[in-house]
Structure 1
Amino acid sequence: MATIGIVDTTFARFDMGSVALDEINKNASARTVRITVPGIKDLPVASKKLLEEQGCDIVIALGMPGSAEKDKMCANQASQGLIQAQLMTNKHIIEVFVHEDEAANEKELAQLMENRAREHAVNVVKLLYKPKKLIKEAGTGQRQGFEDVGPLGM
């Protein structure tokens, strides 16, 4: 049985970790391990620990950068750390960030956070159990959290 790691943050204003766990449980029979860390810059080491110390096959890392310029810089640093952790472990870490300024109001932001967490949780399941399904979706303009844009008409 595969093991899926879920790491989220207390800084986020929505519990994306629970949403991702719910979606994974709806779509797969897998062992899950969840940890929560303070902020997005803590996600890389927590993800790496899940992969190396908890035996996870894949990790979904969820966070919510703020809207200030320094928050965007921290998000970039966290992304670089997640990429580095993937390369060090040779395993996927699916980054799921929702920036606070991606939505016009709190209701839209909460909906975006739920949608993106759910859709990426499904991607985690596809990567583990149904990779050929992702091949069929190549070039189809998928957007996690927003309406899909579809392929280019040529």
Structure 2
Amino acid sequence: MKVGIADTTFSRINMGKIAINELRKICSLPYERYTVPGIKDLPIAAKKLIDERGCDIVITCGWVGATENDKLSYIVLSMSLQLVQLMTGKHVIDVTIHEDEAEDEQELLVVAENRVREHVRNAVDLLLNPKRLERLAGTGQRQGYEDVGEIRR
């Protein structure tokens, strides 16, 4: 099994490096990294990682600016990643940071690092330990922020 990691030069932190560090920390799965200019390039990177480089799952790491155009680009990215999953039958885990989702840059950095690390763990669980995810179903897990927890009766 092999993990694909696609990241962008537009990101304001090295999300690919964080993903690789987390992957190395939790398992010994091999990986392939593919860096592209921006988020609209991530779908083809994901497809190439699956089709040409033999990856069983791909983690895409993207950074979305705060403008309306940036948000529209994210919609295109999201829909395209869904198509890649349907075309390949493989999971593509979208790890996206939105420039305007935190109050300041330090908070944004913490959210970004946490989100990348948590989604790497999700990707590894999808490949190696899907029962762990099943046990977490309905528990209000969030990536990047504190979990919200389940609603109890």
Normalising by structure 1, what TM-score?
Answer: 0.98
Q: Give the unaligned 5+ runs of structure 1.
A: none
Identity of counterpart residues, as a percentage? Answer: 54
Corresponding position of 1:23: 22
Q: Give the unaligned 5+ runs of structure 2.
A: none
- SS of residue matched to 1:101: coil
Corresponding position of 1:144: 143
**1:42 partnered with 2:41:** yes
Residues of 1 paired with 2:22 and 2:49: CA distance? Answer: 19
Residues of 1 paired with 2:125 and 2:75: CA distance? Answer: 26
Q: How far does the alpha carbon of each residue in 1:66-123 deviate from its partner, in whole angstroms, 9 at most, with x for none?
A: 0111100000100111110110000000000010001100111111110000000000
Cα RMSD (Å): 0.5
Superposed, 1:4-153 pairs within 5 Å as: 4-153=3-152
Q: How far does the alpha carbon of each residue in 1:1-55 deviate from its partner, in whole angstroms, 9 at most, with x for none?
A: x100000000010111111111111111111000110000000000000000000
Residues of 2 paired with 1:125 and 1:31: CA distance? Answer: 11
Q: What amino acid is the match of 1:135?
A: E
Residues of 2 paired with 1:28 and 1:88: CA distance? Answer: 28
Q: What amino acid is the match of 1:9?
A: T
Q: What amino acid is the match of 2:6?
A: V
Aligned length: 153
Residues of 2 paired with 1:123 and 1:4: CA distance? Answer: 12
- SS of residue matched to 1:141: coil
Residues of 2 paired with 1:21 and 1:151: CA distance? Answer: 31
Residues of 2 paired with 1:27 and 1:143: CA distance? Answer: 19
Residues of 2 paired with 1:122 and 1:20: CA distance? Answer: 9
Normalising by structure 2, what TM-score?
Answer: 0.99
Residues of 2 paired with 1:67 and 1:32: CA distance? Answer: 31
Residues of 2 paired with 1:110 and 1:136: CA distance? Answer: 29
Residues of 2 paired with 1:59 and 1:28: CA distance? Answer: 16
